[in-house]
Every structure is written in structure tokens, then in C-alpha cells.
Copies of this chain bind each other. A is one copy, B any other.
Amino acid sequence: MELKLYVDRLSQPSRAILIFCKANGIEFEEVKILIGKMQHRSPEFAEINPMKQLPAIVHGDFKLFESHAILIYLASAFSGVADHWYPTDIYKRAKVHSVLDWHHSNLRRGSVGYLFNTRIALAFGLPLDPKASAEGEKLLSASLAMIESYWLEKDEPFLLGNSQPSIADLALVCEIMQLEVADEEDRDRILGPHKRIMKWIDDTKNATAPYFDEIHSMLPLAKEKLKELKVQASKQ
């Protein structure tokens, strides 16, 4: 059955799915839906995902959206995926679900709230919102502190005291990588205090090499473009 991934590498959950497929030898067609050109809001894409958000997949005639649901589906539908990505043990699996659910209202909400309102809004011709940005940063920083003090508390390299990554490591690390599009000083201020998280990002990168770097390779260019937009906006 043919697998199509409807993604934009600028979208952090899109990257998690691309890396997951490549790291697990799952063949797919990458259908680029460019957020910057609002292609995800088109009537054609609404046929794939009525919520008009990325990522989405079509596998044979089965359509699915929501990145965590997609990662779980791919880990379950393709027999070659190693158990550590989505453990069959119900206790270990429950903990993976727990991190993924927590992610929605904490790390992801904070990260998106911060980045959209400090930078990404400009790409959509919207004004920046310093209050929403500050609220986003507060939640983002609290989430990073919780990852460091709780989810990564054990000596093993990955979340939940695991020696190998799960889909939760990939989802959360790709979210944090989005800070690459922020100013260096902002990124350093937010991530700098979290040495354990920096190590975890490296461990996840190494566990999925060379695909992690390959899929993230466009972030520096996106950062420069957003920087230009900020300079232009500050002149208006």
C-alpha cells in the first residue's frame, strides 16, 4: 500500500513523522504542502485533512491526521518498527501516551505560543504579540524544566528512563528544535539552563542519524527569512 505524507519540513510534527519513517525504513512519498503559501488552507488539502493542518497521511485509502496518532499508527502498521518506538508492554505504552498527552498542553502549547508571537506571525502578515509571546515563553520554560526534572530524571538517555528512543522522544525533541528559528540570544536564554535537554537532543539526533539533520537542514534558511521579516517590520 502506498504511503503519502502531507508535510512541510517547517512544521515540527511533520519533521517527527518524516524522521520516524526514514529511521525505520518505511517507504513513502513526501507531498509538500507549503504553510508559507497557505496550501494547508486550500479546499484540495481539506479533502485530506478537514482541519486544514499538517501533518496528515494517506495509506492506501486510509486517511489520518494528528501527529501523535500518525506516529502510533505507523509504529503499529509497519512490522519492521522496533518495539522501543512504541512498546507493546501496556505499562511502558501507557507512559508513552502520558508524555504525548502532556506534550499537547505544555511543551507544544508553550513553544507555539512563544515562536508564533515573536516571529512566525510576521510570515503570515500578522502583528507580533509581546504579551502572548511572554505567556508562551513562561509555559515553554516551565515545560523544559519539567522535562529535565521529571521525564528525563533517570540516568538513561531518553524519556521515561529508556535506553532507546520512543515516538515521544521524537515528537518532543522536534518541537524543541523549532527554537532554531528564534534569535540566538533568545534560544540561548531559553535552552541554555537545560544542559540535560541539550544532551537528550544530541542523543535523539544520533539515534536517528543521518535523517535528523537531513530533515532539519532547512531551519537555518527559515531563520534568516524570519529575521529579515522582523527587520522590515521594525522599520514600518
A residues in contact (CB < 8 Å) with B: 50-51, 62, 64-70, 72-73, 76-77, 90-91, 93-95, 97-98, 100-102, 104-105, 109, 146, 150
Contact = CB atoms under 8 A, between A and B. Distances in A.
A101 B150 contact: no
Contact of A66 (B70, B102, B109): B102
Nearest to A74: B94
A69 B104 contact: no
B104 A105 contact: yes
A214 B72 CA distance: 35
A62 B93 CA distance: 12
A77 B90 contact: yes
A109 B139 CA distance: 15
A119 to B, nearest CB: 20
16 contacts: A50-B150, A51-B102, A62-B94, A64-B94, A64-B95, A64-B98, A65-B98, A66-B97, A66-B98, A67-B101, A68-B97, A69-B101, A72-B97, A73-B94, A73-B97, A101-B104
Question: Oligomeric state, in number of copies?
Answer: 2
A97 B72 CA distance: 9
A56 to B, nearest CB: 10
Of the listed residues A50, A67, A104, the one surrounded by the most CB atoms of chain B closer than 10 A to its CB is A104
Contacts of A101: 66-69, 104
A106 to B, nearest CB: 8
